[in-house]
Structure 1
Amino acid sequence: MQVLLVAIGSHGDVLPFIALGTELKRRGHAVLLAAPAPFADMADRAQLAFHGLGTQAEYDGFVAEPNLWHPRRGVRVTFGFVSALTEPVYRWIAAKWRPGEGIVAASTLSLGARVAQDKLGLPLVTVHVMPVLVESRHAPPILPGLPLPSFLSARLRHWIGRGADTYVIGPAALPGLNAFRAKLELPPVRRLRHWWNSPLRVLLGFPEWYAEPQPDWPRQAVQVGFPLADRCGDVDELTPTLAAFLKAGDPPVVFTYGSAMRQGQSFFDAAVRICRRMGRRGILLTPQDGQVPADLPPQILHAAYAPLSQLLPHCVALVHHGGIGTVAQALAAGIPQLVVPVAFDHFDEGQRLRRLGVGSVLSRHRFTPSRAVAKIERLLGNPDVTRACAMARARMLAENGVRTACDAIEDLRAVATRSSGAA
């Protein structure tokens, strides 16, 4: 079977698709991956046929934009990048897809794939890797820049959240999308967060115990669990320097603010002071130059990258932005998490961790050494948190999101054949 994979976003968006592609190729399928150009090396290491979207310079400009990390203004920056790739994605799929021979699986923001489904009738699987992408009147996710109090009813919070479609998401995403659809003689999209779900199948990359299924979720949605994929990254093992540091003392606290973050200097400055106050060792993870203090004490190590599945089991806690891939790795390691949310799904993930009893949240503006130390020490000293982390780790060991997602894609072969015939 031919499988065309499309992923648009940063490492956390692309890595799961590289993992899916690796497993599907192992099963004997012909896999082609389209993703932003900077991920060519990662695809090459996974031995996946790769088509680069855009250029390195365009991607660098996107992630370097300061407004990308604003809870509200980041939406416009994101969809500016997405809109530029919508037509290239459509053209690539139209050129590569062979009717009756395969399936397309695409990330949420791969809007060109969804357009191709509407125009060409091809079988498309939409993959949402975070719960914030799925609407619900019963359990509305927390949208960035919209901190609604929990005492409001779920329906009211959902209704207020729908305003984001009208005043934030729609104006940022729909003009460019609908201009392209008009060229293809397709009707305009009215509401993106409804349309971006494939009518054929939606895969949700998180388990039921993390985000309970809701009665008003799309009927074609299937939860497959977290597609853990960090060993498809820049390196798949700990470096000798990092391994030696872990062996040289007590388990450290790990600090990371995401692979694409360019404005993390204050976060890492605070991380150094947190470690000093706690008398603990620390690891600062960031690939970007200029974000970490130049003269680190010997008990703190800076690493550009490390596969979290190999690192976190040797650590005592994780302080991070709240990206879903990072969340999942800490759950698998069974360690508590302090989330300092920035934008996107970070606020929603933080609240889910708090409800599970495995983490806490501290706003970016309140992230000071004294407050962070108090939060971390409460997490480490609470036996209920320890038990909740152990339970999460056991649940993660019992699941394999990549394998389950690939099973679901293979199960659609008959549906895809009927869909192609109808088209």
Structure 2
Amino acid sequence: MRVLFTVSDWPAHYFPMVPLGWALQAAGHEVRVACAPSQVTAVSGAGLSAVPVLGDLDMVFLARFQNLTDIRAGTWRYPELPGLHPDTGEELAGLDGFDFETYATECRRRIARETATGVAGVLELVRSWRPDLVVHDRLSMEGVLAARALGVPHVAHLWGPVGTAESDPRLHPLPVDYTRAFPRNGLPEMGPELIEYVIDPCPPSLAPPTRATRLPVRYVPYNGPGAMEPWALEPPARPRVCVLWSNSVSTSYGAGSYLAPRVVRALAGLDVEVVVPVHPDDAARLGELPPNVRTVERFPLHLLLPSCAAIVHHGGAGTVMTAAAAGVPQLALTFGPEQDADGGRLAATGAGLHITGDRATEAAVRGAVAALLGGPTHRAAAGRLAGENAARPVPADLVGPLERLAATGELPEPAATGPAAAAGQP
């Protein structure tokens, strides 16, 4: 069987799909990953074969422009954070000197250009390679289009607790056909009815809304390649707290959204060991560190978390899911609609706490971490979440149902659940 993965232009959207790619390859199937040229390193670093035929749709540019749109509309929630120039990332004192309409036109032009590149590239790929099945992430319109044009089944693969039937359009629950590529290729308009199957790696308590037939799978963390630090194999003398802050937050929201230094200061007075995985570009931004803090680079989160008593992070889906699989209580400090949703849904399980970035003072962070460490409630809830995840089918268990889907267009009955079958389903 030939299986084509299509992924949007962000590694964190692709990483949750990697274990399924491994499982398919181990079962003797061919797997190719259609991606943007910028994602080749991330794809090939996981041992899968990249085919760079999609457009480079710069998501940081889009995020910065969306933030300026919110400022202009009066819906911006972070008055202490200035908007950023979409191209340079330079902080803007206001919108008076910024030509909004020119950049709105430029934004539409870039989307149209890169989408057209991806559509042409993926159609050429599937017509020559002829996959039997397409697996695409939630935003990859090209995967849906390619499968429909070829007449083969396709399955959406979620990366976290945001689904394909969200009521809030800011969560982008479905791929968007920016250039009307579907009708131009003789296909129905892109809509929720085209998403018939969803691979859902979320434990039932985190299950996101979808109208599609759900294929439950265990979330198997993959956070990129890296090495295990020997010290992390030894039990810590004090509770170990991981502080992880994605570089993507500050590149989208500015230097004021880089909360790792504030979190480190907040934890300085607690009897804990603090470990901060850092991007090389961010190490200097942490400033002078207290003696209870160490930094690490290129240390995959799934290798670090089993030794941790808690984690403080930015609310990214990959971090939420990796900590959930490890049974580690979490504090999410969030900027942006999807991270807000991730943090809110995590807090609803009891396995963590959620504070929006505009309210994440040192005192609030210190109190929240003390609450995570101070009693059994959050630890027990985190353990339940990990147990839910461990009880789900492993990626290898999906291979048979996907073989059946590719061959017959149908799933065997026990392989899937209906849209509302998961506990906690909205």
TM-score by length of 1: 0.75
Distance 2:4 2:136 in 1: 8
Distance 1:114 1:78 in 2: 23
**2:199 partner amino acid:** L
1:355-401 deviations in Å (ceiling 9; x for gaps): 21111111101111111111111122232222212222223333344
Query: Where in structure 1 are there 5+ consecutive unaligned residues?
Result: 136-140, 142-157, 419-423
1:247-303 deviations in Å (ceiling 9; x for gaps): 664232111123533346640110220121224221222325146324323321222
Q: 1:407 to 1:69 in 2, by over 3 A?
A: farther
1:191-238 deviations in Å (ceiling 9; x for gaps): x5x25x434x222232323227x7xx42x421413432325x131x32
Counterpart residue number, 2:185: 184
**1:211 partner amino acid:** A
Counterpart residue number, 2:228: 238
Match of 2:243 among 243, 255, 258: 255
**1:258 partner amino acid:** S
Q: 1:417 to 1:403 in 2, by over 3 A?
A: closer
Counterpart residue number, 2:199: 203
Q: Does 1:95 align with 2:124?
A: yes
Counterpart residue number, 2:418: none
Q: 1:119 to 1:54 in 2, by over 3 A?
A: closer
2:152–2:406 CA contact under 8 A, matched in 1: no
Counterpart residue number, 1:271: 263
Counterpart residue number, 2:16: 16
Counterpart residue number, 1:280: 272
Distance 1:127 1:417 in 2: 17
Distance 2:157 2:356 in 1: 29
Counterpart residue number, 2:321: 328
Distance 1:66 1:118 in 2: 29
Give 1:46-195 correspondences, 5 Å limit.
46-53=46-53, 62-63=59-60, 67=64, 70=67, 84-97=113-126, 102-135=132-165, 158=167, 161=168, 164=169, 173=176, 176-178=178-180, 180-181=181-182, 183-186=184-187, 188-189=189-190, 192=191, 194=192
Q: 1:111 to 1:65 in 2, by over 3 A?
A: closer
Q: Does 1:386 align with 2:379?
A: yes
Counterpart residue number, 1:374: 367
1:100–1:417 CA contact under 8 A, matched in 2: no
Q: Does 1:225 align with 2:214?
A: no
Q: 1:302 to 1:68 in 2, by over 3 A?
A: farther
Q: What SS does the corresponding residue of 2:204 show, helix, strand or coil?
A: coil
Per the TM alignment, residue 404 of structure 1 is displaced from its structure 2 partner at its CA by: 4.0
Match of 1:351 among 341, 344, 348: 344
Q: 1:207 to 1:406 in 2, by over 3 A?
A: farther
Q: Does 1:312 align with 2:312?
A: no
1:224–1:404 CA contact under 8 A, matched in 2: no
Paired positions, count: 371
**1:304 partner amino acid:** E
Q: Does 1:26 align with 2:26?
A: yes
Which is worse superposed, 405-414 or 90-99?
Answer: 90-99
Q: 1:388 to 1:185 in 2, by over 3 A?
A: closer
1:130–1:324 CA contact under 8 A, matched in 2: yes
Counterpart residue number, 2:3: 3
1:83–1:173 CA contact under 8 A, matched in 2: no
1:172-194 deviations in Å (ceiling 9; x for gaps): 955x332x3454355654xx5x2
1:8–1:82 CA contact under 8 A, matched in 2: no
1:119-141 deviations in Å (ceiling 9; x for gaps): 33232212223342332xxxxx5
Q: What SS does the corresponding residue of 1:362 show, helix, strand or coil?
A: strand
Per the TM alignment, residue 42 of structure 1 is displaced from its structure 2 partner at its CA by: 3.6
Distance 2:188 2:387 in 1: 47
Q: Does 1:35 align with 2:35?
A: yes
Q: What SS does the corresponding residue of 2:156 show, helix, strand or coil?
A: strand
Which is worse superposed, 405-414 or 312-321?
Answer: 405-414
Q: What SS does the corresponding residue of 2:206 show, helix, strand or coil?
A: coil
**2:323 partner amino acid:** A
- Percent identity over the alignment is 22
Which is worse superposed, 363-372 or 289-298?
Answer: 289-298
Match of 1:289 among 260, 278, 281: 281
Counterpart residue number, 1:146: none
